[in-house]
Chain A
Amino acid sequence: GAVVSQHPSWVICKSGTSVKIECRSLDFQATTMFWYRQFPKQSLMLMATSNEGSKATYEQGVEKDKFLINHASLTLSTLTVTSAHPEDSSFYICSARDVTGWAGANVLTFGAGSRLTVL
């Protein structure tokens, strides 16, 4: 089945630094990837839709200058948290669909997530 690889799984950084999270679709191409964020004991909140070769679409309330998304190829999307602050500490998860797979356009496959801790 479709596999989405996410790296790093855990990162700790100092306040003010930038952190890049990579999301790769393995064995399938994804023109669209989705970035979610999960706070403790909360739901998965959609942050942005990453579109290959074009600008990402951000959800209301998500700062596009803070969370830079680059979808440079059909298998890779990156999320960069710029000038990270403690309130950016969270669990970030990417996802994509293998539209050629058995589940078609409906099932999202998620990466393992990246836990960011900003000191």
Chain B
Amino acid sequence: DQQVKQNSPSLSVQEGRISILNCDYTNSMFDYFLWYKKYPAEGPTFLISISSIKDKNEDGRFTVFLNKSAKHLSLHIVPSQPGDSAVYFCAASAASGNTPLVFGKGTRLSVIA
């Protein structure tokens, strides 16, 4: 049973436009959500996160929105740049303490110049 779902395996966006990546989760115990960016043959790098007490967190071109009632979060990238082309993973964790992250399957973003 997949607890974190990214239903779009790929997304293509034109440079300068907004990229919206979606993520759904099923475990109501999740209280912290993160987005990671991954290039081929490299480890994921942390992008942005949000706590369940918030509904929005913004960092430069990246904004994460959380809708707890819908168990849905999204990552907005605006404006999109060719260097943003990568696989984006949504991840979630439950409770405090040193617990592992549960990842979605990822969405491959291609930003076309």
Contact = CB atoms under 8 A, between A and B. Distances in A.
B49 A106 contact: yes
B28 interface: no
Interface stretch (B65-73, B76-84, B91-99): B91-99
Contacts of B91: 108
B43 A110 contact: yes
Interface stretch (B12-20, B53-61, B103-111): B103-111
16 contacts: A9-B41, A44-B44, A44-B89, A46-B100, A91-B41, A93-B43, A95-B101, A97-B98, A103-B46, A105-B98, A106-B34, A106-B49, A107-B49, A110-B36, A112-B42, A113-B41
A113 B100 contact: no
Interface residues of A, number: 30
Interface in A73-93: 91, 93
Interface of A: 4, 6, 9, 31-32, 34, 36, 41-46, 49, 91, 93, 95, 97, 99, 103, 105-113, 115
B40 to A, nearest CB: 9
Interface string B1-42: 000000001000000000000000000000010101000011
Contacts of A6: 43
B43 A31 contact: no
A6 B51 CA distance: 29
Given A34-B101, A95-B101, 11 more contacts: A9-B41, A46-B102, A99-B98, A105-B96, A106-B32, A106-B34, A106-B51, A108-B34, A110-B43, A110-B44, A113-B42
Contacts of A43: 89, 103-106
B98 A31 contact: yes
Contact of B45 (A31, A41, A105, A110): A110
The 9 closest A-B CB pairs, nearest first, are A110-B43, A43-B105, A32-B98, A44-B103, A113-B43, A112-B43, A34-B100, A43-B103, A110-B44
Contacts of B32: 106
B48 to A, nearest CB: 10
Interface centre among B45, B89, B93, B100 (most CB of A within 10 A): B100
A91 B106 CA distance: 15
